[in-house]
Structure 1
Amino acid sequence: MSRRTSNLSSGSDQGTGGVTGDSSQEKQKKLLQADTGHFNMVRTLHLADLITELNGFCGFMSVLSSMRYLTNPEDNAPLWAALIFMPFGLFFDFMDGRVARWRKKSSLMGQELDSLADLISFGVAPASVAFAIGIRSPVDHLLLSFFVLCGLTRLARFNVTVAVLPKDKTGKSTHFEGTPIPTSLSIASLMAYWVSQGWTHENLPFGLAAQDTIFEFHPVALLFVLWGCLMP
């Protein structure tokens, strides 16, 4: 997670870059608070924000690809597309911070956009792929929901605490509390391996526990629970 607003908000850390960021933010405040005007919100966006939007685009395309796979499970192409879109989302998540620091421009909406895009690309998208490949009992639903909610909570807490976290000379936070949500791509990579081996649906690793009861679930779903516990 690039967290562009926190990286550029401090004048002492960024030199003149911080001044530029403060001036830019004041302009954005006036535009966002204006009662009239054409495309007020669009005019507040920077290039880095548009790159963040591409992160969210990749995440949503991954979700749609998972849904498309469900309409025809015989065709694995949409499933592979769902998995491939997630690393592209990570690329844009990395690039938006680089562009913001290069241009020395911060955005009031940048931090919020970053978190929302990350939730889609690295929270909802992996859970959607898991559902598509067969992790879909009622208990599985609760376990996957727990994972997504942990990601949501982790991102919300970061947004609240980022201003007080220690910064390095470039203005970047020196540490994070909890595992960053993009690390969920590790689970996506594992699911990609399962798909390549044909380990989906009835062939999922470790099978189905408590079968034919209301508590039946896929043990591999516990991996999402574990990852969720590492995030907040």
Structure 2
Amino acid sequence: MSSHSSEQVKRKTSDPELPSRFSMVRSFQLADFVTLGNGVCGCLSLMFAMKALITQNTDFLFTSFWCIPVGVFFDFLDGRVARWKNSSSLLGQELDSLADFCSFGIAPAVLGFACGFQKMLDLVVLTYFVCCGLARLARYNATVAAMPKDSGGKVKFFEGTPIPTTLVIVGVLAYGVSCGKFWRFANPVYQHEGPFAVFSQAFTPEHVWGGEITLFPGYELHPLVLMYGVSGTLMISRRLRIPKP
């Protein structure tokens, strides 16, 4: 055997074996697929919110709202399935946090924007809310191993409000839209001239629930957006401990 071919054999035996195709998907447990359902709901909520702004059709906005409680259902279900199948894993924990961040962190903030919280100071509050949700989930993942647990290995309490509680904010927005407290346009006929309908200035002060106030010249704020600030602050609190059901 030549030195060249012996070198090839040596390199081949020393290289790590490649994993089989779709090995990651095949490694998923049933609970992981349920968790992905939560992530899908968050993604669809974002897309339908953008579709509502493009078409000026509140039907898409209500579809976006409904995606969030469905995501809460999947988030509730995945833990039950994991305990039923006894299949909890570090991958499932990380997957759950990422899905929660999409459905209960980013999506509610985008829905707030779609409902008219679009002033610069509104965006600051919405960004603060998203960052609080991200920090809360990261803290949970970093500390869950050291937190007190019951005899079944389940964490006894949450530090700060769980991020799915942002469903309350989504409920407030949905109620406001259904009562005509947001959006000047109300389900106009879809324009078929092209893929994008003309976007009108719908979010004047009198058409956003609670109006707006001027804090500094040129800087307005919608007071109702502060519910995002309160929610974010409660999520990152370490003194607030809520028993886990």
1:149-204, CA deviations, whole angstroms, 9 ceiling, x for partnerless residues? 00000000000000011111222100111110000000111111101111113322
Give the secondary structure class of the aligned counterpart of 2:20. Answer: coil
42, 57, 72: which one aligns with 2:40: 57
Q: Which residue of 1 aligns with 2:8?
A: none
C-alpha distance in structure 2 between counterparts of 1:47 and 1:168, whole Å: 24
TM-score (norm 2): 0.78
Alignment of structure 1 residues 189-204 onto 2, 5 Å: 189-200=171-182, 201-202=203-204, 203-204=207-208
Larger Rg: 2
- Share of identical aligned residues, percent? 47
Alignment of structure 1 residues 159-174 onto 2, 5 Å: 159-174=141-156
Q: Which residue of 2 aligns with 1:67?
A: 50
Q: Which residue of 2 aligns with 1:80?
A: 62
Give the secondary structure class of the aligned counterpart of 1:231. Answer: helix
**Cα pair distance change 1:212/1:165, threshold 3 Å:** closer
Larger strand proportion of the pair: 2
C-alpha distance in structure 2 between counterparts of 1:144 and 1:35, whole Å: 44
Q: Which residue of 1 aligns with 2:29?
A: 46
Give the secondary structure class of the aligned counterpart of 2:220. Answer: coil
C-alpha distance in structure 2 between counterparts of 1:89 and 1:213, whole Å: 40
Give ranges in structure 2 of 5+ residues lacking alignment.
1-15, 183-202, 237-245
**Cα pair distance change 1:34/1:175, threshold 3 Å:** farther
1:126-152, CA deviations, whole angstroms, 9 ceiling, x for partnerless residues? 111111111111111111010000000
143, 156, 162: which one aligns with 1:180: 162
Equivalent pairs, count? 199
C-alpha distance in structure 1 between counterparts of 2:49 and 2:159, whole Å: 31
Give the secondary structure class of the aligned counterpart of 1:38. Answer: coil
2:230 partner amino acid: L
CA contact 1:45–1:107 (8 Å) conserved in 2: no
**Cα pair distance change 1:92/1:34, threshold 3 Å:** farther
C-alpha distance in structure 1 between counterparts of 2:181 and 2:88, whole Å: 45
Give the secondary structure class of the aligned counterpart of 1:210. Answer: strand
1:103 matched to 2:85:
yes
1:83-137, CA deviations, whole angstroms, 9 ceiling, x for partnerless residues? 0000000000011011111111122210101000001111111111111111111
TM-score (norm 1): 0.82
CA contact 1:118–1:181 (8 Å) conserved in 2: yes
Larger helix proportion of the pair: 1
C-alpha distance in structure 1 between counterparts of 2:91 and 2:215, whole Å: 47
Task: Give the root-mean-square deviation of aligned CA atoms.
Answer: 1.6
**Cα pair distance change 1:135/1:34, threshold 3 Å:** farther
C-alpha distance in structure 1 between counterparts of 2:216 and 2:180, whole Å: 24
C-alpha distance in structure 1 between counterparts of 2:113 and 2:178, whole Å: 17
CA contact 1:135–1:221 (8 Å) conserved in 2: yes
Give the secondary structure class of the aligned counterpart of 2:89. Answer: coil
Alignment of structure 1 residues 1-232 onto 2, 5 Å: 35-73=18-56, 75-200=57-182, 201-202=203-204, 203-210=207-214, 213-232=217-236
2:140 partner amino acid: F
1:35-56, CA deviations, whole angstroms, 9 ceiling, x for partnerless residues? 4322221122101000000000
C-alpha distance in structure 2 between counterparts of 1:215 and 1:226, whole Å: 20
